[in-house]
């Protein structure tokens, strides 16, 4: 095989798999090198007794980004991957007994909000319309193109966005934007939560983050018929059908560079020469472990990390009719919770609790009459905290909150349990300090300070995944692969 037609992808997270598919379609012979014995990175699964859990990402939005890969390969999506729309985005609970069922349908959610928060129904709808407007103005620029290529700013759409910049809340925080647009403090808290979708603090991240609810409420929430892990499995199957080779249990020790051009990689066993290298590894470790002789972008790599998480996987020997696929139990003091995470680097003693129950849509994930609970609280990235102690305290506080709201002794229902924390997240996924989304977006310039999808002055090296532009989460990781695709020539043109 000619080196000129070979491409190597380091890491088989969802962005790495997507990049391998796009490279194969361009005519490259693609080899994916993965340190784990399984693909998917965070988008994998675990089994505890008779319970199955999706290990990481639990929210599926923008399925068109997945479908696009099958369409590019001239394959029928349904031959590989199937999903259903879910009619409810989330069940929201507050400790004073307030409950909101957030329907996907706009009229239904407006009616529901109006019933529970009088005079706020129309405001809720206007907030979603604003999210759609922001996406229309800057979605393509910020999410589908490189922010580090001046050519992407030289078009009419960018000019139009600039003329409407005063409508995008660029000069305020996301929290203040929500306070301006909504009257009830609980609804402000509900929208503030969307900042956690990229691991940020709503009291610091810019108001332009009002774009985030667009993907959940305007496009909708979905669930794969075989669980979230089937996104990984179906794309691996697609990649292999295109000739992509996956090599597991393989650690890349160095990206090889000659005359400012990447020429391949070195593993413990051999040197793999290639024309293209795409790193799906956290950009911090890409520089510090695999590019020892290259100047690292210190300012970018020293940015504040995004939040991490403590996740409990609980096999629950009971079913709850008032819970859905996605559930949130809110903290009474959201601001203090984010101060604890980002300023004090600890877990708040009254944390907001997210509970994902895939068995609501996929009954085989739990035994009959039971549920599989993915229970998550936001946590700081790992900087040497006593995590064993924090886990014990967090577990106690989580149980206390759930018991109070659901009027149940949930601990008596737990028959299987496992836990994931920032240390194990870093170990399993090579995410620096266990941060889930690379760097936080706690400044108005954060989007521009994410590492580019390429490195100027170093040919044939590209970057994908949640630690680089445009950010973390399944849709954005898939977009990072698409951005890289724009810069790599077809074999016939190379």
Distance CA 248, CA 245 (A): 10
Q: What is the 3-state secondary structure (H, E, C) of 311-341?
A: EEEEEECCCCCCCCCEEEECCCCHHHHHHHH
36 assigned to some structural domain: yes
Structural tokens at position 464: 């994908």
90 assigned to some structural domain: no
Structural tokens at position 379: 């946590």
Based on the fold, state whether residues 123 and 272 are members of the same structural domain: no
Domain range for 73: 3-43+60-82+225-303+440-493
Based on the fold, state whether residues 31 and 118 are members of the same structural domain: no
For residue 250, the model assigns a pLDDT of 97
For residue 447, the model assigns a pLDDT of 60
Question: Residues 116, 98: contact at Cβ < 8 Å?
Answer: yes
Based on the fold, state whether residues 69 and 152 are members of the same structural domain: no
Based on the fold, state whether residues 125 and 215 are members of the same structural domain: yes
For residue 166, the model assigns a pLDDT of 47
For residue 157, the model assigns a pLDDT of 57
Q: How many domains does the chain have?
A: 2
Based on the fold, state whether residues 186 and 120 are members of the same structural domain: yes
Q: What is the CA radius of gyration of the chain?
A: 22
Based on the fold, state whether residues 294 and 246 are members of the same structural domain: yes
DSSP reduced 3-state for 435: coil
159 assigned to some structural domain: yes
Based on the fold, state whether residues 119 and 207 are members of the same structural domain: yes
Return the sign of the alpha-carbon dihedral for residues 15, 291, 383, 393: positive
Residue where one domain finishes, among candidates 153, 184, 219:
219
Based on the fold, state whether residues 229 and 208 are members of the same structural domain: no
pLDDT in tens, the chain (494 residues): 567 799 999 999 999 999 999 999 999 999 999 999 999 999 999 999 999 999 999 999 999 999 999 999 999 999 999 999 999 999 999 999 999 999 999 999 999 999 999 999 999 999 999 999 888 877 676 666 766 665 655 554 555 555 555 466 878 999 999 999 999 999 999 999 999 999 999 999 998 889 999 999 999 999 999 999 999 999 999 999 999 999 999 999 999 999 999 999 999 899 999 999 999 999 999 999 999 999 888 888 889 999 999 999 999 999 999 999 999 999 999 999 999 999 999 999 999 999 999 999 999 999 999 999 999 999 999 999 999 999 999 999 999 999 999 999 999 999 999 999 999 999 999 999 999 999 998 887 666 678 889 998 999 999 999 999 898 999 999 999 999 999 999 986 54
Reported as type and span, the H/E element at residue 257 is strand 252-258
- Determine how many CB atoms are found less than 10 A away from the CB of residue 368: 8
Q: DSSP secondary-structure letter at 490?
A: P
**Which residue in the block uniquely carries the two structure tokens 């999808």?**
453
Distance CA 176, CA 169 (A): 9
CATH of the domain at 280: 3.50.50.60
417 assigned to some structural domain: no
103 assigned to some structural domain: no
Q: DSSP secondary-structure letter at 452?
A: P
Based on the fold, state whether residues 117 and 175 are members of the same structural domain: yes
Q: Closest by alpha carbon to 408, among 399, 398, 418, 397? A: 399
Based on the fold, state whether residues 171 and 239 are members of the same structural domain: no
Structural tokens at position 123: 């405001």
Question: Residues 19, 7: contact at Cβ < 8 Å?
Answer: no
Residue where one domain finishes, among candidates 196, 219, 242:
219
Distance CA 393, CA 386 (A): 11
108 assigned to some structural domain: no
Residue where one domain finishes, among candidates 219, 249, 267:
219
For residue 3, the model assigns a pLDDT of 75
Distance CA 235, CA 229 (A): 10
DSSP reduced 3-state for 260: coil
354 assigned to some structural domain: no
328 assigned to some structural domain: no
Based on the fold, state whether residues 265 and 215 are members of the same structural domain: no
Q: Residue 418: beta bridge partners?
A: 313
Based on the fold, state whether residues 199 and 266 are members of the same structural domain: no
pTM for the predicted model, two decimal places? 0.95
């Amino acid at each position: 095989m000619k080196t000129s037609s070979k491409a190597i992808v380091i890491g088989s997270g969802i962005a790495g798999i997507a990049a391998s598919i796009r490279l194969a379609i361009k005519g490259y012979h693609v080899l994916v090198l993965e340190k784990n014995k399984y693909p998917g990175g965070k988008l994998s699964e675990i089994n505890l007794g008779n319970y199955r859990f999706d290990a990481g990402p639990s929210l599926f939005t923008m399925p068109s980004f997945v479908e696009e890969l099958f369409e590019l390969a001239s394959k029928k999506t349904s031959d590989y991957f199937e999903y259903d729309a879910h009619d409810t985005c989330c069940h929201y609970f507050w400790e004073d007994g307030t409950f909101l069922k957030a329907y996907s349908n706009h009229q239904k959610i407006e009616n529901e909000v109006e019933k529970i928060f009088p005079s706020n129904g129309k405001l809720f709808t206007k907030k979603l319309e604003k999210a759609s407007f922001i996406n229309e103005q800057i979605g393509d620029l910020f999410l589908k193109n490189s922010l580090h290529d001046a050519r992407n700013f030289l078009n009419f759409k960018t000019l139009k966005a600039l003329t409407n910049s005063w409508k995008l809340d660029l000069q305020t925080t996301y929290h203040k934007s929500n306070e301006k647009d909504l009257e009830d403090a609980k609804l402000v808290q509900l929208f503030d939560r969307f900042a956690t979708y990229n691991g940020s603090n709503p009291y610091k991240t810019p108001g332009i983050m009002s774009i985030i609810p667009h993907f959940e409420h305007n496009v909708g929430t979905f669930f794969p018929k075989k669980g979230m892990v089937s996104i990984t499995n179906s794309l691996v199957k697609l990649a292999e059908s295109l000739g992509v080779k996956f090599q597991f249990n393989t650690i890349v020790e160095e990206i090889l560079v000659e005359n400012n051009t990447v020429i391949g990689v070195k593993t413990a066993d051999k040197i793999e020469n290639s024309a293209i290298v795409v790193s799906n590894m956290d950009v911090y470790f890409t520089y510090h472990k695999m590019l020892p002789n290259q100047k690292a972008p210190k300012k970018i790599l020293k940015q504040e990390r995004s939040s991490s998480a403590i996740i409990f996987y609980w096999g629950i020997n009971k079913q709850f009719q008032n819970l859905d696929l996605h559930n949130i139990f809110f903290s009474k003091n959201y601001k203090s919770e984010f101060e604890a995470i980002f300023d004090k680097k600890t877990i708040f003693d009254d944390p907001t609790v997210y509970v994902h129950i895939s068995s609501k849509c996929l009954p085989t994930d739990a035994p009959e009459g039971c549920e599989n609970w993915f229970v998550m609280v936001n946590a700081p990235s790992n900087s040497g905290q006593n995590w064993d102690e924090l886990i014990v305290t967090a577990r106690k506080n989580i149980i206390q909150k759930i018991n109070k709201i659901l009027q149940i002794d949930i601990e008596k229902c737990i028959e299987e349990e496992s836990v994931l924390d920032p240390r194990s997240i870093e170990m399993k996924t090579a995410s620096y300090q266990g941060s889930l989304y690379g760097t936080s977006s706690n400044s108005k310039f954060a989007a521009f300070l994410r590492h580019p999808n390429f490195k100027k002055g170093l040919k044939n090296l590209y970057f994908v995944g949640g630690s680089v532009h445009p950010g973390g989460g399944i849709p954005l990781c898939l977009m990072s692969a698409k951005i890289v695709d724009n810069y790599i020539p077809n074999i016939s043109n190379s």
